[in-house]
């Protein structure tokens, strides 16, 4: 992915603890996108749209779910960043208790399937559209992350767009999104491994 969108982080340098944290998140977002691209490179569209079982998601559906989830977070994050004050000292950004729990539960490998809200249920998109939308949402996420440089984003909160009774700070929200993306890119990898093994068994 183009690194230009993270210039708001990299241009400042990595001398501040908070900048190091944001730069690390930006690197993870780019790596997740790159890993997803490697996994699907050269894959036939039929494979991208195939489910392992009726209760699972296809690769294209995983990508669409990631896009929808990211887009549901971005408006609230953008508004909260606009209200955030500047960092007044060199310190680490705090994740918060609830986001830390969510990050641990989302980080792969995982065993528990979480209930997905209807508005985040993936659509049955063609593989090219699903991939294009995902990449665009990653660019948007990186751009907004870059705008948070130098700000105390752990002192402003948003209501969770997934569970309205929860709220957490913006740094925690970014970490949740990254863990959520890692979860589903891992799911994509497992899905493709199973489909490949079945294809070998049927040949």
What does the pLDDT read at residue 4? Answer: 41
- Condensed to tens digits (0 to 9), the pLDDT of residues 112-168 reads 566 666 667 777 778 999 999 999 999 999 999 999 999 999 999 999 998 878 999
Spans in the chain with pLDDT lower than 50 = 1-14
Of 2, 15, 35, nearest to 142 (Cα)? Answer: 2
pTM of the predicted model as reported, rounded to 2 decimal places = 0.87
What does the pLDDT read at residue 6? Answer: 46
What does the pLDDT read at residue 180? Answer: 95
Contact (CB, 8 A) for 70 and 140: yes
Q: Where are the domains of the chain?
A: 3-202
Distance CA 37, CA 31 (A): 10
Of 10, 24, 11, 5, nearest to 144 (Cα)? Answer: 5
Q: In 41-149, where does DSSP find H-type helix? A: 45-48, 59-83, 97-106, 127-146
> Residue 201: left if φ>0, alpha if ψ -120 to 50, beta else—which one?
alpha
What does the pLDDT read at residue 118? Answer: 62
Q: Is 178 exposed, middle or buried (0-12, 13-18, 19+ CB in 10 A)?
A: buried
What does the pLDDT read at residue 176? Answer: 96
What does the pLDDT read at residue 168? Answer: 96
> Class for domain 3-202, per CATH?
mainly alpha
């Amino acid at each position: 992915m183009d690194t230009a969108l993270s210039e708001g982080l990299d241009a400042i340098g990595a001398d501040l603890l908070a900048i190091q944290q944001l730069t690390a998140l930006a690197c993870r977002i780019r790596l997740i996108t790159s890993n997803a691209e490697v996994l699907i490179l050269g894959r036939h569209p039929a494979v991208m749209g195939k489910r392992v079982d009726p209760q699972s998601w296809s690769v294209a559906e995983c990508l669409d779910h990631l896009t929808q989830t990211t887009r549901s977070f971005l408006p609230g994050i953008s508004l909260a960043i606009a209200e955030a004050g500047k960092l007044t000292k060199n310190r680490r950004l705090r994740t918060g208790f609830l986001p830390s729990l969510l990050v641990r539960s989302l980080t792969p490998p995982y065993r528990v399937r979480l209930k997905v809200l209807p508005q985040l249920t993936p659509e049955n998109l063609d593989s090219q559209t699903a991939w294009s939308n995902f990449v665009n949402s990653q660019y948007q996420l990186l751009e907004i992350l870059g705008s948070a440089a130098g700000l105390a984003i752990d002192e402003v909160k948003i209501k969770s767009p997934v569970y309205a009774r929860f709220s957490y700070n913006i740094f925690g929200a970014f970490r949740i999104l990254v863990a959520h993306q890692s979860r589903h890119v891992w799911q994509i990898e497992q899905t493709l491994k199973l489909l490949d093994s079945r294809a070998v068994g049927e040949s």
